[in-house]
Amino acid sequence: MRCLRFGLVLLAAGCSGYWGRRPVDQPTPVERHDPVWIWSGGEVTKWHAVVITQDSVSGIPYQMTVHCYSCRRSVPRTRVDSMKLGYRTLPENVTIVVGAATAAILVEAAVCSLLGARNDC
């Protein structure tokens, strides 16, 4: 029974971090921390803190902090082939709770194996 619980928790934790993508159509409000993939001239870049206007798309490269205002880049809309907005399929707090439950089960299994109590745990 414990193995079944453990397997279900691991399965839920593994599936909870999936990022989906959907096309960005104007006007689309974009949250600061949401990633946006931008295809332009055969290349793809990943930005956050994206602002979409009639004329351009601007944002900060994803590996930089959203507070790096000098890192902001801009591309004219005429050069953008397509854009996709990343989104989480589950809220972040669900991922944290499932991760904590997984950690608790792993700790329980480790303690039980160290104590050698096979039927009490």
Residues 54 and 99 in one domain: no
CB of 62 closer than 8 Å to CB of 35: yes
Residues 23 and 79 both lie in one domain: yes
Q: What is the pLDDT of residue 113?
A: 78
In a domain, 46, yes or no: yes
Number of separate domains in the chain: 2
SS3 105: helix
Token digits of residue 110: 């480790």
Answer yes or no: is 121 within a domain: no
Q: Average pLDDT by consecutive 10-residue portion of the chain (121 residues)?
A: 60 56 64 90 93 89 92 93 78 74 85 70 54
82/24 same-domain check = yes
- Please indicate, yes or no, if residue 68 is contained in any of the structural domains: yes
The pLDDT of residue 54 is 82
Residues 79 and 108 occupy one common structural domain: no
- Whether 47 and 58 map to the same domain: the answer is yes
pLDDT, residue 30, reads 81
Burial of 42-55, coded b for 16+ CB within 10 Å and e otherwise, reads eeeeebbbbebeee
**pLDDT at 47 (0 to 100):** 94
Give the structural domain span for 57.
19-88
Contact 21, 58 (CB under 8 A): no
| Same-domain status, 79 and 26 | yes
Q: What pTM was estimated for this model as a whole?
A: 0.55
Same domain, residue pair 32 and 81: yes
Classify residue 120: in a domain, yes or no. no
* Residue 54 included in any domain: yes
If you search the block for the tokens 């930005």, which residue do you land on?
Answer: 47
